[in-house]
Amino acid sequence: MSRCFEIDLDHSEGALLRVLGTVERRGFALIEMSAEKPDAESYSVRLQVDGERDPQVLCRQLERLVDVRAVRLLPLPPEEPPPPGFKATWL
Amino acid sequence: MDGSREQSTTVRTGAQWLLQALEAEGCEVMFGYPGGAVMPIYDALVDSPIKHILVRHEQGAALAADGYARASGKVGVCLATSGPGATNLLTGIANAFLDSVPMIAITGQVQTNVMGTDAFQEVDMFGMSLPVVKHSYIVRHAEDVYATVREAFAIARSGRPGPVLIDLPKDVAIASAAARQPRFKSAAATGSEPEALMQARALIAGSERPLLYVGGGVSMANAEASLRSLMRSTGLPAVWTLKGVGAVDPDAPFSLGMLGMHGNPAANHAVQECDLLIVAGARFDDRATGKLDTFAPKAKVLHLDIDAAEIGKLRRADVSLSGKLSEQLPALAQPLSISAWQQRCREMKAQYAERYDAPGDGVYAPALLKQLSEAGGNRLIVASDVGQHQMWVAQHWRVSRTAAHLSSGGLGTMGFGLPAAIGAQLAKPDACVICVSGDGSIMMNIQELATLKRYGIPVKIVLLDNSCLGMVRQWQELFFAERYSEVDLSDNPDFAVLARAFGIPAFTVERRDEVPGAIERLLNEPGPLLCHVKIDPRANVWPLVPPGKSNGQMMGCAA
């Protein structure tokens, strides 16, 4: 099942790698990602992932990462699929 | 030194700040091996009061730091150079990660201006270690070294402990700077909701057959006393995992033994029969649960863990408490009316009591381990390697506290035993530390006999030699139609001669009547000693839950 997460991160080395690695190692596939940088110290990532496991558990697995400030599991996405592609506005 | 005032004005090299920070964190011993990228650190080490133990392979450094941490409750520290030195640490780091052991792993790195150019002895240690660390850093400025190390220690020991990697480029170690202050993140709130606690108490009160399932988290939380007090006041029966060995008083009337693949049948049957499983610092590991969907089929689950990410990972919890076990366990105490269940547990415990009357004149390893542990008493710390002997230790060694039983639970690292014993002996100089190993495992880190000799570390090694890779052989016998494949080690070296070549006294035992004398020597001789014990290659570990089967389907025990 596809679910969306919004994740607030410290802007520190490896923070995004840790998040993406956790998502994939815990059995979820990344479908789409976007990121923005609201200030010098942090950035926000929105992930859409797909997997059979409990997304609440993934939420807690992401929350325990040292660089992660907050994780929000969003309600189920609308019927219309999101546009394909990768968007990383802060790069 | 406190350093907080001095560091704002004092200028030191990155390497010096590294050692200052280690001192500030109370580090007295570190394990390492020098090389090109860490030469500035080794230069600074000449002026440091920290005792450095030169191992003979970097994996030994990481596993010794692991053993030091488990035995002492402190953070273990290991150090290696870039490239192969760093990659050799990885197994030890992963070992610490899977068993939640606090560790700081410091690796040298090539200079920052050549990072990313495939320079000599450059590997992306930061990237390679990401899946097996709690956190990690590349320190890119000398001014950050002191603060980074302090912050790393705080992370390693907080909440659910784990290893933290610090990758330090050579030019950063050489550069001089004033140090910035550390920025400690405030720990996440761990107090459980009062409502959840009330629900937990109500679950227990409404249960007719409650059972404690005790994991390594109990000792990591310093909650052994709380657990034992709860068991005394309530009469709750308990089973435990490999990493939970020692948390429960072995003399408690309703301590049923280890559960799982090589668990005691009384423990496994109790799990299958209970109507409430109180999971304390355990994580439903597959070696403990067997076939998960048949595990504790009649039970509701009350899950207690400092790590909220373990709640619901493998088994849905009816009620969960995410916080400190030392505070939660006492809050569960209440009068219980479970005498019929206690009687049932008492009967199973008696029915499945271990037997040591094996026929023949050869050495029966379970009996040797039981006798040695009883003769040595509470001053013993056992560091087990991985294989059949590891399970025999878990089943038969009398363990009075978890810090006295060091075992590679999550990763199952052959080669863990000897370096872990070295770390434990340095952490607890007055303890009698015994490494129980096998002829397969000992060869994984045999070079650390040189470390024993160099420092006169009085670790005693009991080497159970069955001339094969016993656990693999056992599985090939039982589950692969006796098609033995690459398990024969009958061309082993003479281990007693090998030990003597390293300068370690050694002797060999082959008959059962030689065991009392061997125990006498092991417990009374000063200095390191290797006892080479030849055992029957056909000996298996019983009971056994076949892979993929329910814990109720044990082989090798009277039903």
pLDDT per residue as tens digits for the range B405-415 = 999 999 999 99
At what angle are helices B365-376 and B388-396 packed, to 10 degrees?
Answer: 50
Q: Is B555 a catalytic residue?
A: no
Rounded average pLDDT over B31-54:
98
Q: Cβ distance B281 to B246 under 8 Å?
A: no
Interface size, chain A vs chain B, as Cβ–Cβ contacts under 8 Å? 38
Using an 8 Å CB-CB cutoff, list residues of chain B that contact chain A: 126-127, 130-131, 134-138, 155, 159-160, 185, 307-309, 311-313
Rounded distance, CA B386 to CA B449, Å? 18
| Beta bridge partner(s), residue B290 | B550
The answer to whether the Cβ–Cβ distance between A21 and B130 falls below 8 Å is yes
Q: How far is CA B267 from CA B80, B161, B261, B327, B340, in A?
A: 43, 28, 11, 26, 17
Q: Is B170 a catalytic residue?
A: yes
Residues of chain B positioned with their CB less than 8 A from the CB of A64 = 159-160, 307-309
Residues of chain B positioned with their CB less than 8 A from the CB of A56 = 312
Give the pLDDT score at B2. 46
Residue ranges of chain A with per-residue pLDDT less than 70: 77-91
How would residue B385 be classed by pLDDT, with cut points 50, 70 and 90?
very high
Rounded average pLDDT over B21-45:
98
Over pLDDT 70: what percentage of chain B?
Answer: 97
Closest listed residue to residue B308, CA positions, set B285, B283, B287, B330: B283
Sign of CA dihedral B41, B45, B49, B50: positive
The amino acid that residue B542 corresponds to is W
Residues of chain B positioned with their CB less than 8 A from the CB of A18 = 130
Rounded average pLDDT over B286-306:
96
Rounded average pLDDT over B487-497:
98
Tell whether domain A2-75 is in CATH 3.30.70.260. yes
Residues of chain B positioned with their CB less than 8 A from the CB of A14 = 126-127, 130, 136, 138
The answer to whether the Cβ–Cβ distance between B309 and A66 falls below 8 Å is no
Rounded distance, CA B483 to CA B216, Å? 36
The amino acid that residue B345 corresponds to is C
The answer to whether the Cβ–Cβ distance between A61 and B309 falls below 8 Å is yes
Helix (H) or strand (E) holding B432: strand B432-438
Give the pLDDT score at B557. 79
Using an 8 Å CB-CB cutoff, list residues of chain A that contact chain B: 13-14, 17-18, 21, 25, 54, 56-57, 60-61, 63-67
Dump pLDDT digits (tens) for A22-31: 999 999 999 9
Q: What are phi and psi for residue B471, nearest 5 degrees?
A: -70, -40
Q: How far is CA B255 from CA B80, B251, B266, B353, B374, in A?
A: 43, 7, 10, 12, 18
Dump pLDDT digits (tens) for B93-136: 999 999 999 999 999 999 999 999 999 999 999 999 999 999 99
**Measured between CA atoms, how close is A80 to chain B, in angstroms?**
30
Rounded distance, CA B168 to CA B170, Å? 6
Domain limits, chain A: 2-75
pLDDT for B69 beyond 60: yes
Give the pLDDT score at B377. 96
Q: What are phi and psi for residue A2, nearest 5 degrees?
A: -85, 135
Give the pLDDT score at B7. 54
Interface-testing mutation among B130, B158, B314, with chain A (most A C-beta atoms within 10 A): B130
Per this entry, what is the length of chain B? 559
Q: Which residues contact B159 (CB under 8 A, 6 or more apart)?
A: A64, B187, B188, B190, B306, B307
Q: Cβ distance B275 to B299 under 8 Å?
A: yes
Residues of chain A positioned with their CB less than 8 A from the CB of B307 = 64
How would residue B3 be classed by pLDDT, with cut points 50, 70 and 90?
very low
Q: Is B295 a catalytic residue?
A: no
**Measured between CA atoms, how close is A89 to chain B, in angstroms?**
24
The answer to whether the Cβ–Cβ distance between A57 and B130 falls below 8 Å is no
Give the pLDDT score at A76. 75
Q: CA of A53: which chain B residue's CA is closest? A: B313
Dump pLDDT digits (tens) for B43-67: 999 999 999 999 999 999 999 999 9
Closest listed residue to residue B59, CA positions, set B446, B399, B365: B446
B96 is written with which tokens? 């610490």
Domains and their CATH numbers in chain B: 6-178 (3.40.50.970), 194-351 (3.40.50.1220), 365-534 (3.40.50.970)
Residues of chain B positioned with their CB less than 8 A from the CB of A66 = 134-135, 155, 185
Rounded distance, CA B173 to CA B82, Å? 13
Cα B238 to its chain centre, rounded Å, is 21
Rounded average pLDDT over B413-424:
98
Q: Is B240 helix (H, G, I), strand (E, B) or coil?
A: strand
Helix (H) or strand (E) holding B167: strand B163-169
Q: How far is CA B158 from CA B5, B102, B395, B476, in A?
A: 25, 9, 31, 42
Q: Is B310 helix (H, G, I), strand (E, B) or coil?
A: helix
Dump pLDDT digits (tens) for B305-325: 999 999 999 999 999 999 899
Dump pLDDT digits (tens) for B185-206: 876 656 668 999 999 999 999 9
Q: Is B128 a catalytic residue?
A: no
Give the pLDDT score at B84. 98
| pTM score, whole prediction | 0.95
Mean per-residue pLDDT over chain B, rounded? 96
**Measured between CA atoms, how close is B277 to chain A, in angstroms?**
20
